[in-house]
Amino acid sequence: MKKRQKKILQQQIDEAKKLAGNGLIVLGSNASIGACELCGAKDEELRPYGPNGENICFDCGMKDRDTTEKQMGKFLNFGE
């Protein structure tokens, strides 16, 4: 994750934590904040794009773009 991006995300996390306490914070667009289910990184913005629907961080998503894009497509088509 790029530094600037991370700083902005950190601010969003801090604000969201104030509102939600320490539980998993659900953002819009299927995103949530928590620990990545693949690499274990904490306080990451997660999306359910892992190979089996795991909540994964941006870095893991970029490591396996094919899977991420496939999973993304599932969510985009969901309910439409």
Round to whole Å and give the CA distance between 15 and 78: 29
Shortest Å, Cβ 54 to Zn ion: 9
Output the CA torsion 23→25→35→78 (10° steps): 130
Q: Does 57 bind Zn ion (CB under 5 A)?
A: yes
- CA dihedral defined by 40, 34, 66, 75, rounded to 10 degrees? 150
> In the complex, what is the shortest distance from the CB of residue 58 to Zn ion, in angstroms, rounded to a whole number?
8
Stretch 23-52 residues interacting with Zn ion (CB under 5 A): 36, 38-39, 41
By the rule CB under 5 A, 60 interacts with Zn ion: yes
The residues that touch Zn ion, with contacts defined as CB under 5 A, are 36, 38-39, 41, 57, 60
